[in-house]
Amino acid sequence: MSSLGLAQDKFEGGAFHPQLPGGRASGTLLVSVAGIRFESPHGAIVFPLSNLQLEMGGAGDRMCFFKHPQFPGCSLFTTDKAILKHPALAHDRAVSAQRSQWGRRRFFAVAAAVLLVLAIPMALWLAKDPAAGLVARNIPVDWEVKLGETVFEQVTNRARVVTAPELNAEFSRLVQPLFAATGTTRYQFQVHIVEDLSLNAFALPGGIMVVHSGLILKADRAEEVLGVMGHELAHVTQQHSLRAIVQRVGLIVMLQFLIGSDGGLAGVIANSADFLLGQKFSRDHEREADNIGFDYLVKAGIDPQGLITFFEKIQKEQDAKLGGAAEVEASLSFLSTHPGTDERIAHLRKRIAKETKGRTFQPVAQDFKSFQDRLRQQLGTK
């Protein structure tokens, strides 16, 4: 028996054979140019190399099985894959063809496993916002309203709300065309002016919108304030706060809710006031609010240019305050830093050029300057 000068030509293994006690025996596989010889205390058998068949099997294809047409019902096996590197086998055409087939199979199995591991989280991740949107649309409106009221209560604990009825009524009248432009009957929109000199406004779930007195007083035209209100209104109608809350509960709770059992979502929503107070909308939700807010403005016949001039105002203010470099981190804020104000202005400009070409917008009729004066007076007298 030739050893081909190789260090290893003996491999631990076994054989299945109907004549062996129990049908199998352990032993040694000896590889040579003559074939594979199996030796055990029960006897020996030689599988010639020609017509030798190789199969991989067992858990994770860890075992090599050899079969031969001359010995039907009999197979030799080893877990020592080094056997395949033995020159007598490595150069055998049939064996190497089967090895490469096995290699391809293994490659596809690994590729499929990797794909599965990557694809499932990716699919879930991609599905998360649409899934949250679907859940949010099915949430009873009073859950939303209740949450909005809870947050508003916390806001009013920290800031003073303008209570002068005629000012509130006038401001509501100013925003009314935007409310109508949403075309939704789900919400009873209400808007509150809070005494705060910063340029800010925000929307709460359920239809409550808050605008800082500073934003109204610094505006040059009503259209600027209305531009911001259109954006905030879109956050309400697109349920961005609710969607952000729902995304945090995970797909299991979402699924439970959608198939009819609450799954604890009511409790999560009821307890999300603190989360909302510290929350910032995602980049996608801000873009969506810009776009849908723009639609509302155009539909209501309000010049959307106001939103742009107001963005520019905000930008100037930020540059002056922060040297233009720092980021404004404000929660519940219109002044989101993402997407950047430049990008938002550029996008709105494009839409104006494309969609309102040749259209002239009538100025908002209400005497905005006089409203500002009276608001200023109201704040000054306190």
- Which residues face 190 on adjacent strands? 208
Calpha distance 33→53 (Å, rounded)? 15
For residue 137, what are the contacts with CB-CB under 8 A and spacing of at least 6?
Answer: 239
Residue closer to Zn ion by CB (options 84, 208) is 208
**Interacting residues with Zn ion (CB under 5 A):** 286, 289
Residue closer to Zn ion by CB (options 77, 281) is 281
Residue closer to Zn ion by CB (options 92, 286) is 286
Residue closer to Zn ion by CB (options 224, 286) is 286
CB of 234 to Zn ion, least distance (A): 8
For residue 258, what are the contacts with CB-CB under 8 A and spacing of at least 6?
Answer: 134, 135, 138
From the list 237, 247, 238, the residue with the least C-alpha distance to 129 is 247
CB of 242 to Zn ion, least distance (A): 15
Examine the residue annotation and report whether 232 is marked as an active-site residue of this protein: yes
CB of 314 to Zn ion, least distance (A): 12
Residue closer to Zn ion by CB (options 136, 289) is 289
Please count the other Cβ atoms lying within 10 Å of the Cβ belonging to residue 120.
10
From the list 54, 363, 382, 11, the residue with the least C-alpha distance to 220 is 363
CB of 213 to Zn ion, least distance (A): 19
Residue closer to Zn ion by CB (options 249, 289) is 289
Contact of 191 with 211, CB cutoff 8 Å: yes
- Tell me which of 144, 223, 224, 232 is the catalytic residue: 232
Dig out the tokens for 198 from the structure: 């910063």
CB of 228 to Zn ion, least distance (A): 9
Calpha distance 16→66 (Å, rounded)? 10
DSSP 21-39: GGGEEEEEEEEETTEEEEE
By CB atoms closer than 10 A (0-12, 13-18, 19+), residue 151 is: buried
The one-letter code for the residue type at 291 is: N
CB of 208 to Zn ion, least distance (A): 15
Contact of 332 with 277, CB cutoff 8 Å: yes
Q: Which residues are catalytic?
A: 232
